[in-house]
Structure 1
Amino acid sequence: MTFEAILASLHLLALLTLVVFLTSQAALCRVEWMNAAVVQRLARLDMIYGIVAVILLLTGLARLFWGVKGPATYVASPLFHIKMTLFVLAFLLSLKPTFTFRRWKKALDAGGQLPAAAEIAQTRRWVMWQGHVIPVIAVIAIFWARGM
């Protein structure tokens, strides 16, 4: 039982950390705030966000395979499949900003070029879409954990 609590705590900590770094990206990715330091910070935040997403996935898999309920219980639930589909959707939504932040950093390092206003706004929309999918995943997990 203690092991299950540790796994659940690590998973929740990873989720909360993921939200913090995604929120930081959304806050910084604004036309009016864009400068060289922000481009560097966005690239660093996105790297940490990616690492935390992997940790979130690994802790979720650990709960799936080593948790009290076991894989058969989880996989049988339609909410599990919805949750996993939304996780994949959030991952896919994160790809565009990740590649964009890396490109911005490369352009900045190469010649000091900052991104165009339209591209900043578009990238922020992608980050915001992720930010709207992730809470839905958490809500589904709550219903799922209560056997619905």
Structure 2
Amino acid sequence: MTDLILAILHHVAVFGLVATLAMEGVMLRAPTLDPARLVKLDARFGMTAMLVVVIGVSRVVWGGKGWAFYQDNPFFCAKIALFVAIGLLSIGPTLLFFRWRKAAAGDAGFVPPADELKRARWWVGLEALLLIPLLACAAAMARYPF
């Protein structure tokens, strides 16, 4: 039963991660941008990512398959590497969002510079794109060896 509960919680957390990333992408394309709301949403993204990690580690430690299943699974290693890459990529937009919030606090008419906005969209888009192979690795991991 523990394994089932952890699996459900892990899936819900991953869906939450995807949803917050999608919302960031939508907010970055909105005609008006509220940097303070974007910072809050990005914080939720970070907290959800940490929740995914905690639940994922719990699955490895207390789940039905145990560490032996994961230690030699190349798809598990690839999935973790992709998750780390997404986390590292998220640093760039996070720093921009903080800078924008600070600038908006001092200037009610603040609009992010076009090049920074384009860069943030690109980073968030790349994070979303990397979710595809991550999810493919998760599906392959569960069935390895084939």
TM-score range (shorter-chain normalised) is over 0.9
Once the two structures are TM-superposed, the CA of residue 115 in structure 1 deviates from its matched residue by: 1.0
| 1:94 pairs with 2:93 | no
Matches within 5 A, 1:1-148: 2-30=1-29, 33-35=31-33, 38-112=34-108, 113-148=110-145
Structure 2: give runs of 5+ residues left out of the alignment: none
TM-score (norm 2): 0.93
Q: Which amino acid aligns with 2:72?
A: A
Q: In structure 1, what is the Cα distance between the partners aligned to 2:79 and 2:43?
A: 23
User: Alpha-carbon deviation of 1:114?
Assistant: 2.3
Q: TM-score scaled to structure 1, two decimals? A: 0.92
Counterparts of 1:13 and 1:136 in 2: how far apart (Å)? Answer: 18
Give the share of equivalent positions with the same residue, in percent. Answer: 34
CA distance in structure 2 between the aligned counterparts of 1:69 and 1:76, rounded to whole angstroms:
13
Query: How many residues matched?
Result: 144
For the aligned residue pairs, the C-alpha RMSD in angstroms reads 1.2
Q: 1: CA distance between counterparts of 2:86 and 2:42? A: 14
CA distance in 2, matches of 1:57, 1:22: 16
